[in-house]
Amino acid sequence: MSEELKDQATLILIKPDGLKKSLTGNILTRLSETKLEIVAAKMVRVSKELAEEHYKHLKDKPFFGELIKFIRGELHDRKKVMALVYWGDGAIKKCRELAGATNPEEAEATSIRGSYGRITTGGVYENVIHVSSDPREAEREIKLWFTPEEIIVDLYPTKEATEKEIKKKTWA
Ligand code: IDP
Ligand code: MG
């Protein structure tokens, strides 16, 4: 296996249902069992573009429209997700094991999704947490959700670019 394909980092999202149910603390406590390190964390208001790019592998599924609404918080009156990067050996494997199966009804009862997830009448699995599925997806997703400067370790190669005339909000 080449270096960049090792299971060393995963994107974690606490989805809007997890935030609405005040599960942030519980989920982070559960994930701390992995002994992995959190190397990035932020709250994100998810644009349609970000949602569709994140879930692009599911765009032909009948539940895609609902899934995009779900991750954008339109079903929970919580228009945000918490995004984190967990870092360390076996990050994906460890976090997916704690998260449990995609379908909360099939997830082990003690897993995060088994404990807190549900299936809506609209047909979306509201499973409170996202974990990347493999190292390639983890790299794609982490680069989609975070800039290099938002991550406190060097996960992937970077380059320097001088950006001119880019409008940025700063403190007044
Ligand atoms: P994962 O989140 O376990 O990696 P994916 O197949 O990547 O599973 O699906 C992404 C998300 O889409 C799931 O977490 C779940 O919220 C939703 N989803 C996946 N498959 C189904 C389905 O068959 N019915 C309803 N929702 C689904
Ligand atoms: Mg997935």
Give the tens place of pLDDT for each residue, 12-26: 999 999 999 999 999
DSSP 25-94: HHHHHHHHTT--EEEEEEEEPPPHHHHHHHTGGGTTSTTHHHHHHHHTTTTTT---EEEEEEESTTHHHH
From 71, 125, 140, the mutation candidate for ligand 1 (largest count of ligand atoms within 8 A of CB) is 125
**More confident call, 166 vs 26:** 26
Average pLDDT over residues 151-163: 95
Ligand 1 centre and the CA of 48: distance in Å?
Answer: 17
Q: 41-62: per-residue pLDDT in tens?
A: 999 999 999 999 999 999 999 9
pLDDT band, residue 4 (cuts 50/70/90): low
Length of the chain: 172
Task: Compute the mean pLDDT over every residue in the chain, rounded to the nearest whole number.
Answer: 95
123 lines ligand 1 (CB under 6 A): yes
Q: 94-105: per-residue pLDDT in tens?
A: 999 999 999 999
For residue 9, give the H/E element and its range.
Answer: strand 9-14
Answer whether residue 168 shows pLDDT above 80: yes
Domains observed in the chain: 3-150 (3.30.70.141)
Q: What is the pLDDT of residue 117?
A: 97
Average pLDDT over residues 77-88: 96
Reduced to 3 states (helix: H, G, I; strand: E, B; else coil), residue 97 is helix
Is there a contact between 69 and 120 (Cβ–Cβ < 8 Å)? no
Q: What is the pLDDT of residue 5?
A: 87
- Dihedrals phi, psi of 82, to nearest 5 degrees: -100, 125
Average pLDDT over residues 115-124: 92
Instruction: State the burial class of residue 56 (Cβ atoms within 10 Å of its Cβ: 0-12, 13-18, 19+).
Output: exposed
Closest CA to 12 of 27, 26, 22: 27
Q: What is the pLDDT of residue 78?
A: 87
Distance, CA of 86 to chain centre: 10
Q: What is the pLDDT of residue 3?
A: 52
Ligand 1, atom nearest to 70 Cα: 16
Degrees to nearest 5, angle at CA 50 with 104 and 89: 60
Answer whether residue 123 shows pLDDT above 90: no
Reduced to 3 states (helix: H, G, I; strand: E, B; else coil), residue 101 is coil
Q: What is the pLDDT of residue 163?
A: 84
Ligand 2 centre and the CA of 131: distance in Å?
Answer: 7
With tokens 């970000």, the residue in question is 50
